[in-house]
Amino acid sequence: MKKIIRTPNAPAAIGPYSQAVEAGNTLYVSGQLGIDPKTGKLVEGDVKAQTRQALKNIEAILQAAGYSFIEVVKSTCLLSDIADFKAMNEVYAEFYFEHQPARAAFAIKDLPLGALIEIETIAAK
């Protein structure tokens, strides 16, 4: 059985998908952009600012479902420019300073809304 997770503390979905879905003891968090949930717009600044906001959005969704960063087992980071990898990684390490999940990071051609980064996450209890 699956459970749809929604929280006003993270941006509403910008398409026909859920912020997250829990199936059994696994939470699948949809890709999060650096959108401020209060304004519905990308935060101003560079990839560090957008990474920080995307991870705050993930944190809000995890908390709404009763999870935390400790339970994250896999992240996928999509960058609009692989040259931003080091800057993204610096901010990512602030949130995953221990209990680091498995991760993939790669560049793609374009992201929604002209975002610089999108991060999707899987957590398990």
- 3-state SS, residue 123: strand
Per-residue pLDDT of the chain (125 residues; tens, 9 = 90+): 899 999 999 999 888 999 999 999 999 999 999 999 999 999 999 999 999 999 999 999 999 999 999 999 999 999 999 999 999 999 999 999 888 999 999 999 999 999 999 999 999 99
- Residue 109 and residue 5: Cα distance in Å, rounded? 29
Question: Which CATH number is 2-124's, of 3.40.50.620, 3.90.79.10, 3.30.1330.40, 3.40.50.720?
Answer: 3.30.1330.40
Domains of the chain by residue range:
2-124
The pTM of the full predicted model, rounded to 2 decimals, is: 0.96
